[in-house]
Amino acid sequence: MPTDTLTAVPRAGAGSGAPTRGAGLPVLPYLLIFLLACALPLAGDNYWTVIATRAAIYWVLVSGLNLIVGYGGQLAIGWVALLTLGAYTASVLAGGNVLPPVPPFAALAVAGACGGLFGLVVGLPALRLRTFYFAMATLGFATIVTQIALAWQDVTGGGIGLPGPALPAPFDSEVGLYYLCLAVAAACTLLSASVAASRFGRGLIAIRDAEVAAEACGISKARLLAAVFVFSGVFAGVAGGLFASLQTYITPEAFTFELSVLFFISILIGGRGSILGPLLGTLILTALPEFAAPLAAWSNFLYAAMLLVIVLTVPGGIAALLDFRGRRARDDDRRVLPDPSRLQRLLDRGESGRGIELQDVSLHFGGVKAIDGLDLAIAPGRIHGLIGPNGSGKTTTLNVISGYVTPQQGGVRQAGAPVPMGQPLACAGRGLARTFQTPRIVGDATVLQNVMMGGHVRAAGTFVESVFRLPRHRRDERALHQDAHDALAAVGLAGLAHLRADRLQHSELRFLEIARALMLHPAYLLLDEPAAGLSADEILRLGELVREISRRGTGVLLVEHHADLIFDICDHVTVLNLGRVLASGTPQEIRQHKEVVSAYLGA
Amino acid sequence: MHTSAHDDTPLLAVRGLHAGYGKIRILHGIDMAVRAGEIVALLGPNGAGKSTLMRALSGIIPRTGEVAFDGRLLRPGNPREAARAGLVHVIEGHRVFTQLSVLDNLMLAGYDLARAERGRRVEEALGYFPEIAEKRTDRAGALSGGQQQMLVVAQGLVKRPRLLILDEPSAGLSPVLVDRVLSVAARLREQGTAVVLVEQLVEKALALADRVYAMAQGGIVLQAPAGEPGLPQRLEAAYFGSQARAPLQS
Amino acid sequence: MFGSILSSGLAVGAIYALIGITYNTMYSTSRVMSFTAGQLGMLGGVLGSLFILKLGLPIFAGFLLTLAGCALVGFVTELVAVRPVLKSIEQHLYVLSTLALALMIQQVTAIQWGTEPQPFPRLFGIGSGVLDEKFWLPVAACAAVVLGLELLYRRTLVGRAFLAVAEDNFAARALGLPERHLRVFSYVLAGVIGGIAGFAAGELMLAFFANGPLLNFYGFVPVALGGLGNNRGAVLGGLALGVFQQLANFTVGGVFASIAVFVLFIVVLLAVPQGIFGSAAARRV
């Protein structure tokens, strides 16, 4: 993520050794824009004030939609439906044609509440539908809302429309309304930026770009999206009410598909995972028809053409162009040097006892038996190696333990108690962390942000507390920062915290995944072929790191192809072949086991 | 068909090959050579990079380094060009097009040919595998695993290879069918076609091949004639790790 | 009245089915759901009216030129909005690139052709009332396209190559099939199918730029319900949707009909996200 949505950097003196740079810098662009905006009406011409009011209102909506589209990756193209809803709700209530007239600000508040409710309704299909399908569903919803506005003549005035809420003085003048909208826009910017900089913002980009890994970190897509859809819906509803006041008279024709697309394109031109980018995008797109007056009729065409160009050339948008820090030149001579002393604070669970036990687990996919009657135990503080030819069921076993697949038979126990199967989200809460065969990280975010995702479930603050930056949220952020810096130092990536993750080499990504796993203060660590693609040197360091992790009480399951790593560090080895346990014992015993050798060499 | 002027220049010469998937570098500087009419076995544990090497050779995945076929350098990332030159790769997993008939599957292998020539070559390929010749109108999805494996090899034969790469042809097959497929490789050798055989079944591979390469962790760790005494022990050491770096021999 | 519902329902349904087939044809070789499918249908009507009514060309010539125009749009879609983003790991980009292109097409049409629906020529003058040309023509077109695709897929090598690429694109590439040519060809074919759909629908839906988003959505519903890549499902889904929509229009009318269709769509999709005939998603981990 570009640096303008910097994770809230803790105050200096936290003793973490973390650099407290740049706390002031990202605020500057916003301050500049705000000051210019405040000064605008003084330029004299009210024409531009009206344009600016419109831009502010659009930004109120877009700042919320940005969290859904830019951060969450859900393509809610038909979001204009909520603007329509908010506008009509506020107008109907203030106009008093159904109920007695409601004071305009109360009407605005109700519009916001309705927006929140319907935001949830529009958004929930996102949990079941693929990208394109969800986009289509939101488009359908937008059409429906417009048609209802047209048809429900008694309430909405049908095609004729109805007057928008008339705000009391001083907001009934153009300048007065402008400052009101500017204030609301500024507030919305702060609130959405707070979410973006919190663990919820990081959680959103995790489910956007690394959904499987997000599950392993315990990030619940359903709960996160629900919260964000309600939050953004409220913004959209309020924007609708303000829009109705600006227009002074609304008809269904004011809420076109083109308007919806404009919101959407602003975010994408601005860049995902950014607040400043979409803000600039909204300002540019709102102002564009005014500057390109002869081309005004072509403005929609231009928006679309801009989107196409951005997608093909700079998919990261304006934000990517402005992200200088994240794009620093790579120093290809970097070496990963773990510092196990930093593990101390992270591995403090001290779980002892029976560990994780698999009992008679069997699983088949279609006709193929992936695992057949498997018994396995991971003891705290020990390293258990799991090896076997391709297709022997190693990764499947790991997936069973981490809840991604459900066995047809058998069960898993942790500390003696049975564990529910098939729930990957629950594993994080039980202190179970894992890495993946191919590193699953968010390329667009920094290394630090990626690591902090791992600690999502360790924070206690709620979504609302993050919106308003209440004390518990700040405590959470400080703790997560501290843990993340410790984890990065422990795995040897300390100097890379602010680099974009997609600039890392493959081997560094492997260690990054381990750092992310350490954020859970895991009682158990499941490693899926962590040595693949590593040089011999790096494999040695990996081995040392894993050994140190286990020495501090964490039980480790190591699935691997690299026989030397296995024999080097494991306390116990299980060999799988065709889903069954071929042999189980100490590395020395396995190395000399005749059947193991033939299984590898082919009988 | 044009034959190589010198019998000792290899049909396939690989120098300094590097390849991987995205950021993951799998192969580190591979050198190998295959002569016309010889069967070369490529052995090694899982994750060593055998299939990756084959894909890099035939151009399915991008690579750096030199691959020369019949004296001409092949452009990377171009499987069609490689096939046209005579380097044909039968990928692992007997991936047939299940919705199409056996005959259609073979016809597609001859997609670029004129119709008459295509028909001729399909019949020729079916001649190697009478078991599937009699099932030519059946849906490929209805064939057993072994028959599907025969079908993908037949697809390779439609292209009249000068060097045929067989990637794990024995996977999931019964021993009888494995022998059946490997016997076709022997027949090809008699006709002067070279074969590169990636195999898990070390004994069968050693019995068939003229020479052996062994891979581990993305590099070639062993090179020897197939009949060399003590080879199985050296292979075991190569598979199980730190003693893997056995000295190379030609 | 029942006859009226059935004939208009089948007609509209056939159009939706054809747009669904357009989606499927583009999807099969590229795994991309393109927003341009509905626009192709819209262009079939607009270009037909342009060539035959405005420029006075004979019907058959106008038809061929319309198809040529739509084929060109299909070609450009692949070149500009699909090929460049296929290489990228970011899957969402194709939604945006095809959306952008679809909007550009729509805006150009709105500006050059106008925002009011224009008449479409009467083609053959056969039939009236319930069996009027505007009702049977789309159904006939749908049948012809389905038949034509069957012949293509079963009898020609190119068609079988399409099926191969659609089933296992990696194996097809490894076998040496010309993946890129096939993809371009399938987009051109999709353009032609969309053009046929719009041309046959001209008398019913008129030459109207707003048909684009409308066909985009209602042409997508059969695909979503019938399963992605499944043409039979698209035909069944399209016809069912058309009849249901017309039934709702005649009974409850207007807004409620639209709401009924939309609610049905969402409910079915949430219950069976991969479509009634579709296949479940692959393993994720």
- Exposed, middle or buried: residue A460 (CB in 10 Å: 0-12, 13-18, 19+)? exposed
Clarify whether residues A401 and A543 are in a common domain: yes
A57 pLDDT exceeds 90?
yes
Among the candidates A521, A545, A563, a domain finishes at A521
Least confident range of A306-320, B30-44, C172-186: A306-320
Question: In whole angstroms, what is the distance from residue A497 CA to residue A446 CA?
Answer: 7
**What is the residue-averaged pLDDT of chain A?**
88
Q: B111: which chain C residues are within 8 Å (Cβ-Cβ)?
A: 157, 161, 175-178
Structure tokens at A400: 């069973």
Residue C175: its chain B contacts at CB < 8 A?
A: 108-109, 111, 155
Instruction: Tell me how close the Cα of C114 comes to any Cα of chain A, in angstroms.
Output: 12
Region of residue B29 (left: phi > 0; alpha: psi -120 to 50; beta: else): left
Residue-level pLDDT at A8: 41
Q: Is the pLDDT of residue C126 over 90?
A: no
Task: Find the chain A residues whose C-beta atoms sit closer than 8 A to any C-beta of C.
Answer: 73, 75, 77, 125, 128-133, 135-137, 139-141, 143-144, 147-148, 150-152, 212, 257, 261, 268, 297-298, 300-301, 303-305, 307-308, 311-312, 315, 365, 395, 399, 404-405, 436
The alpha carbon of residue A32 is apart from the nearest alpha carbon of chain C, in Å, by 31
With beta carbons less than 8 A apart as the criterion, state whether A22 and A2 touch: no
Contact C103 A301 (CB under 8 A): yes
- Residue A539 and residue A447 in one domain: no
Average pLDDT taken over every residue of chain B: 87
Q: Are residues A202 and A300 in the same domain?
A: yes
From C257, which residue of chain A is nearest by alpha-carbon distance?
Answer: A144
Q: Is A578 on the interface with B (CB under 8 A)?
A: no
Report how far residue A497's alpha carbon sits from residue A485's, in angstroms, rounded to the nearest whole number: 8
| Same-domain pairing of A483 and A506 | yes
Which of B22, B24, B46 is the closest to A389 by Cβ?
B46
Q: Identify the three-state secondary structure at position A224.
A: helix
The residue of chain C nearest to residue A295, with distances taken between CA atoms, is C111
In angstroms, rounded to a whole number, what is the distance separating the alpha carbons of residues B207 and C123? 74
Residue B30 corresponds to which amino acid?
Answer: I
Could you write out the three-class secondary structure of chain B?
A: CCCCCCCCCCCEEEEEEEEEECCEEEEEEEEEEECCCCEEEEECCCCCCHHHHHHHHHCCCCEEEEEEECCEECCCCCHHHHHHHCEEEECCCCCCCCCCEHHHHHHHHCCCCCHHHHHHHHHHHHHHCHHHHCCCCCEHHHCCHHHHHHHHHHHHHHCCCCEEEEECCCCCCCHHHHHHHHHHHHHHHHCCCEEEEECCCHHHHHHHCCEEEEEECCEEEEEEECCCCCHHHHHHHHHCCHHHCCCCCC
Chain A interface disruption, residue of C96, C106, C112, C221, most A CBs within 10 A: C96
Look at A99-108, A447-456, B177-186, B226-235 and tell me which has the smallest mean pLDDT.
B226-235
- Per-residue pLDDT at B247 exceeds 80: no
Residue-wise pLDDT for A543-593, tens only, equals 999 999 999 999 999 999 888 899 899 999 999 988 899 899 999 888 888
Hunting for tokens 């003229």 — which residue is that? B210
Same domain, A478 and A546: no
Chain A environment of B208 (Cβ under 8 Å): none
pLDDT at A367: 75
Gap between the Cα atoms of A246 and A172, Å rounded: 9
If you search the block for the tokens 């262009």, which residue do you land on? C43
| B203 contacts in chain A (CB < 8 Å) | 601-602
Same domain, A596 and A474: no
Specify which residues A383 forms β-bridges with. Answer: A556
C 203-242 near A (Cβ less than 8 A): 213, 216-217, 220, 224
User: For chain A, what is the total number of helices (H) and then of strands (E)?
Assistant: 24, 12
Same domain? A139 vs A97: yes
Give the pLDDT of residue C129: 79
Q: Are residues A517 and A529 in the same domain?
A: no
* Mean pLDDT along residues A218-237: 96
Nearest beta carbon to residue A129 from set C213, C262, C273 = C273
Q: What is the dihedral of CA C263, C264, C269, C274, to 10 degrees?
A: -160
| Residue B86: closest C-alpha in chain C | C176
Q: Mean per-residue pLDDT for A21-27?
A: 49
* Confidence (pTM): 0.89
Task: Examine the pLDDT at C12 and tell me if it is beyond 60.
Answer: yes
* The predicted structure's pLDDT at residue A180: 95
Q: Give whole-number Cα distances, C258 to A155, A403, C262, C264, in Å.
A: 19, 42, 6, 10
Q: Mean per-residue pLDDT for C234-247?
A: 94
> Does position A187 have pLDDT exceeding 70, yes or no?
yes
Per-residue pLDDT for A9 more than 60?
no
pLDDT average, residue stretch C42-61: 93
Long-range pairs of A509-514 with CB within 8 A, sequence gap ≥ 24: A509/A439, A509/A441, A509/B23, A510/A435, A510/A439, A510/A534, A510/A542, A511/A336, A511/A338, A511/A542, A511/A545, A512/A439, A512/A441, A512/A447, A512/A450, A512/A451, A513/A213, A513/A435, A513/A436, A513/A439, A513/A440, A513/A441, A514/A435, A514/A545
Q: Map out the domains of chain B with their CATH numbers.
A: 12-92+159-244 (3.40.50.300)
Residues 155-194 of chain B whose Cβ lies under 8 A from any Cβ of chain A = none
Q: How far apart are CA C57 and CA A183, in angstroms?
A: 60
Q: Do A129 and C213 touch (CB under 8 A)?
A: no
CB contact under 8 A, B201 and A505: no
The residue among A281, A297, A322 that closes a domain is A322
Same domain, A479 and A369: no
Same structural domain for residues A571 and A423? yes
Distance CA A603, CA B16 (A): 33
Is A35 a residue whose pLDDT tops 60? yes
Question: B228 or C200: which carries more pLDDT confidence?
Answer: C200
CATH code where residue A383 lies:
3.40.50.300
Is residue A90, in this structure, part of any structural domain at all?
A: yes
Contacts of B199 in chain A (CB under 8 A): 602
Residue A272 belongs to a domain? yes
Q: Please, are residues A236 and A79 in contact by the beta-carbon 8 Å criterion?
A: yes
Cβ distance of B241 and A562 shorter than 8 Å: yes
Chain C residues with CB-CB distance to A144 below 8 A? 258-259, 262
Q: In the predicted model, what is the mean pLDDT of chain C?
A: 90
Q: In this complex, which of C95, C103, C258 lies closest to A75 when CB atoms are compared?
A: C95
pLDDT for residue B38 is more than 80: yes
Q: Residue A326: what pLDDT? A: 63
Q: What is the mean pLDDT of residues A213-224?
A: 95
Nearest CA in chain B to A578: B172
Q: Do residues B244 and B238 touch, judged by C-beta distance below 8 A?
A: yes
Interface test with B, best of C157, C160, C170, C175 (most B CBs within 10 A): C175
Q: Is C151 on the interface with B (CB under 8 A)?
A: no
pLDDT greater at residue A325 or residue B213: B213
Whether A173 is covered by a domain: the verdict is yes
Evaluate if residue A40 carries a pLDDT over 90.
no
**Strand order across the beta sheet in which B72-73 lies:** B24-34, B12-21, B63-69, B72-73
Tokens of A311: 């997608």
Which residues in chain C are closer than 8 Å to B109, comparing Cβ atoms? 175-176
The predicted complex's ipTM stands at 0.91
The dihedral built from the CA positions of residue B70, B72, B76 and B82, taken in this order, carries a sign that is negative
Share of chain B above pLDDT 70, in %: 92
Per-residue pLDDT at A17 exceeds 50: no
Cβ contact (<8 Å) for B100 and C163?
yes
Question: Average pLDDT in the C19-42 region?
Answer: 94
CB-based contact, C262 to chain A, within 8 Å: yes
CB contact under 8 A, A300 and C262: no
Give how far C144 is from chain B: nearest CA, Å.
Answer: 23
Domain assignment of residue A46, yes or no: no
The domain spans of chain C are 2-271
Neighbouring subunits of A (3+ Cβ pairs under 8 A): B, C
Give the one of C80, C103, C285 whose C-beta lies nearest to A212's C-beta.
C285
Q: Are B152 and B95 in contact (CB under 8 A)?
A: yes
Q: Last residue of some domain: A269, A303, A322?
A: A322
Q: How confident is the model at residue B73 (pLDDT cuts 50, 70, 90)?
A: very high
CATH class of the domain at C2-271? mainly alpha
Q: How far is B36 from chain C (nearest CA, A)?
A: 22
Q: Do B111 and C176 touch (CB under 8 A)?
A: yes
Contact B34, B11 (CB under 8 A): yes
Question: Which chains have at least 3 CB atom pairs separated by less than 8 Å from chain C?
Answer: A, B
* C19 in Cβ contact with C215 (< 8 Å): yes
Q: Looking at the 3D structure of chain A, how many domains does it have? A: 3
Provide long-range contacts, Cβ within 8 A and 24+ apart, for C162-170: C162/C28, C162/C29, C162/C186, C163/B97, C163/B99, C163/B100, C164/B97, C164/B100, C164/B108, C165/C28, C165/C29, C166/C28, C166/C29, C166/C229, C167/B97, C167/B98, C167/B99, C168/B95, C168/B97, C169/C29, C169/C31, C170/B60, C170/B91, C170/B95
Q: Write down the pLDDT at residue A294.
A: 74
Which is nearest to A314 in space by CA: C104, C35, C36, C96? Answer: C96
Q: Give Cβ neighbours of residue B229 (< 8 Å, ≥ 6 apart).
A: none
Cβ-based neighbours of B123, under 8 Å, separated by 6 or more: none
Nearest CB among A505, A506, A567 relative to B241 is that of: A567
Neighbours of A344 (CB within 10 A): 11
φ, ψ at A57 (rounded to 5°) = -65, -45
B91 close contact with C: CB closer than 8 A: yes
CA distance A487 to A477: 15
Q: Do B201 and A602 touch (CB under 8 A)?
A: yes
Is A21 inside any structural domain?
no
Nearest CB among A151, A152, A212 relative to C284 is that of A212
- pLDDT score for B74: 92
- Specify the pLDDT at position A331: 67
> Which alpha helices (H) appear in chain C, and where do they start and end?
2-30, 36-49, 59-76, 83-86, 93-113, 133-155, 157-167, 169-174, 179-205, 211-226, 231-251, 254-271
When pLDDT is cut at 50, 70 and 90, the band that residue C178 belongs to is very high
What secondary structure letter does DSSP report for A393? S
| Chain B contact present for A505, CB below 8 A | yes
For the segment A448-470, what is each residue's pLDDT rounded down to a tens digit?
Answer: 999 999 999 999 999 999 999 99
C57 touches chain B (CB under 8 A): no
Q: What is the pLDDT of residue A303?
A: 87
Same domain, A221 and A311: yes
**Residue B245 falls in which region: left (phi positive, over 0), alpha (psi -120 to 50) or beta:** beta
What separation in angstroms does the CA of C8 have from each of A534, C43, C74, C141, C210? 65, 21, 29, 15, 20
| Residues spanned by the domain of A541 | 355-431+523-603
Poorest-pLDDT segment among A92-101, A411-420, B152-161, C276-285: C276-285
**Statement to judge: residues A308 and A405 lie in one domain:** no
What confidence score (pLDDT) does residue A14 get? 34
Classify residue A347: in a domain, yes or no: no
pLDDT higher than threshold 90 for residue B163: yes
Q: Which residues pair with A376 in a beta bridge?
A: A358
Mutation pick from B104, B111, B113, B121 vs chain C, by most beta carbons of C within 10 Å, is B111
Closest CA to A476 of A497, A452, A441: A452
